[in-house]
């Protein structure tokens, strides 16, 4: 079924979307003008490749035609005929293999039992026994020796390749798993903070086919997860207003696991929507 939107209808949705983006990004853009780095919020624009101006562009998703939308003719993934814009079937075909890989990853994660016992130790393993830390402007809450002791006193079972690849060399043998890019569909599970944060990455990689409302739902989830990720990290970010989740204590572990379960519940329907989107594209 195809829905056709008048210019008034789709431009209203586009304006609402841009307003939502502006609210979400106001702090980041103000800091960027001041050239002020932020260890939590910058991550969504340094680790992920989608730029703020790309986020502001409204995309309706599959099965929607936009009347009087000649401006979409300059945007990749669209075809405009007699002023009416719709997704370009040729672009979907060109990207079919990539779409199928993303679908496989997301669907296999949906089918796998979530795990909730990692306690965010991936961030600790990224600074283990190393003089170099990723956020050098911020001190380690327990110091280098205390941080190393936390790593050594816990079982590390990181299943996410893009977290594991940043482990320090001494930390890598401590992980009970050996995730690789090829094994990602076999290991990724819905309790992992990074796997759920990456829903924003997959939604972005599926642009312009991803409806913008779904993209921003994934962005908001990634932003909230990143906050927990860094609150549970070894860094002391209290001066920025982030109280630590002390995962080295029983109370901190319980707090982390409860938040992890909540994020898994939020991520599940978004992951399912992305699978449905891939199915619609692949036909």
Length of the chain measured in residues: 283
**Omega before residue 208 within 30° of 0, cis:** yes
* Structure confidence at residue 32 as a pLDDT band (50, 70, 90): confident
pTM, two decimal places: 0.94
pLDDT tens-digit map of 242-266: 999 999 999 999 999 999 999 999 9
Return the pLDDT at 173: 97
Domain ranges within the chain, ordered by starting residue: 3-282
Return the pLDDT at 283: 87
For 28, how many CA atoms within 13 A lie in the half-sphere containing its CB?
17
Q: Look at residues 46, 98, 66, 100 and name the one whose alpha carbon lies nearest to residue 75.
A: 66
Q: Do residues 139 and 235 make contact, with C-beta atoms less than 8 angstroms apart?
A: yes
> Has residue 29 got a pLDDT over 90?
no
* Structure confidence at residue 1 as a pLDDT band (50, 70, 90): confident
pLDDT tens-digit map of 198-257: 999 999 999 999 999 999 999 999 999 999 999 999 999 999 999 999 999 999 999 999
Q: Do residues 131 and 90 make contact, with C-beta atoms less than 8 angstroms apart?
A: no
pLDDT tens-digit map of 34-83: 888 888 888 898 899 899 889 999 999 999 999 999 999 999 999 999 99
Q: Do residues 268 and 190 make contact, with C-beta atoms less than 8 angstroms apart?
A: yes
In the block, residue with structure tokens 């990720």:
229
C-alpha torsion sign, points 63, 267, 40, 239:
positive
In this structure, the strands spanning 64-66 and 3-5 are: parallel
Q: What are phi and psi of 46, to 5 degrees?
A: -105, -45
- With 0-12 / 13-18 / 19 or more C-beta atoms within 10 angstroms meaning exposed / middle / buried, residue 227 is middle
Q: Do residues 272 and 93 make contact, with C-beta atoms less than 8 angstroms apart?
A: no
Q: Do residues 127 and 134 make contact, with C-beta atoms less than 8 angstroms apart?
A: yes
* Structure confidence at residue 31 as a pLDDT band (50, 70, 90): confident
pLDDT tens-digit map of 179-189: 999 999 999 99
Question: What 3 state SS string does the chain have?
Answer: CCEEECHHHHHHHHHHHHHHHHHHHHHHHHHHHCCCCCCCCCHHHHCCCCCHHHHCCCCCCCCEEECCCHHHHHCCCEEEECCEEEECHHHHHHCHHHHHHHHHHHHHHHHCCCCCCCCCHHHHHCCCCCCCCCCCCCCECCHHHHHHHHHHCCCECCCCHHHHCCCCCCCHHHECCCCCCCCHHHHCCCCCHHHHHCHHHHHHHCCCCCCHHHHHHHHHHHHHHHHHHHHCCCECCHHHCCCCCCCCCHHHHHHHHHHHHHHHHHHHHHHHHHHHHHHHHHC
Tokens of 4: 């056709």
In the block, residue with structure tokens 């001494």:
170
């Amino acid at each position: 079924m195809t829905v056709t939107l008048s210019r008034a209808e789709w431009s209203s949705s586009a304006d609402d979307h841009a307003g939502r983006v502006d609210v979400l990004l106001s702090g980041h853009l103000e800091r960027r003008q001041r050239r002020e780095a932020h260890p939590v919020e910058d991550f969504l624009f340094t680790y992920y490749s989608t730029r703020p101006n790309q986020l502001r562009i409204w995309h309706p998703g599959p099965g929607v035609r936009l009347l009087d939308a000649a401006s979409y003719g300059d945007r990749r993934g669209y075809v405009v005929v007699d002023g009416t814009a719709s997704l370009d079937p040729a672009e979907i075909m060109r990207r079919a293999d990539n779409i199928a890989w993303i679908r496989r990853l997301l669907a296999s994660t949906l089918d796998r039992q979530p795990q909730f016992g990692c306690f965010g130790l991936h961030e600790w393993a990224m600074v283990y026994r190393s003089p170099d830390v990723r956020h050098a402007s911020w001190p380690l809450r327990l110091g280098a020796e205390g941080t190393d002791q936390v790593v050594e006193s816990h079982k590390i079972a990181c299943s996410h390749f893009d977290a594991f690849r940043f482990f320090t060399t001494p930390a890598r043998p401590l992980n009970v798993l050996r995730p690789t890019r090829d094994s990602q569909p076999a290991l990724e599970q819905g309790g992992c903070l990074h796997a759920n944060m990456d829903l924003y990455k997959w939604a972005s990689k599926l642009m312009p086919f991803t409806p913008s409302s779904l993209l921003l739902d994934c962005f908001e989830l990634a932003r909230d997860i990143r906050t927990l990720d860094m609150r549970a990290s070894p860094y002391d970010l209290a001066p920025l207003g982030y109280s630590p989740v002390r995962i080295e204590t029983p109370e901190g572990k319980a707090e982390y696991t409860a938040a992890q379960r909540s994020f898994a519940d939020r991520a599940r329907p978004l992951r399912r929507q992305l699978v449905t989107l891939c199915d619609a594209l692949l036909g």
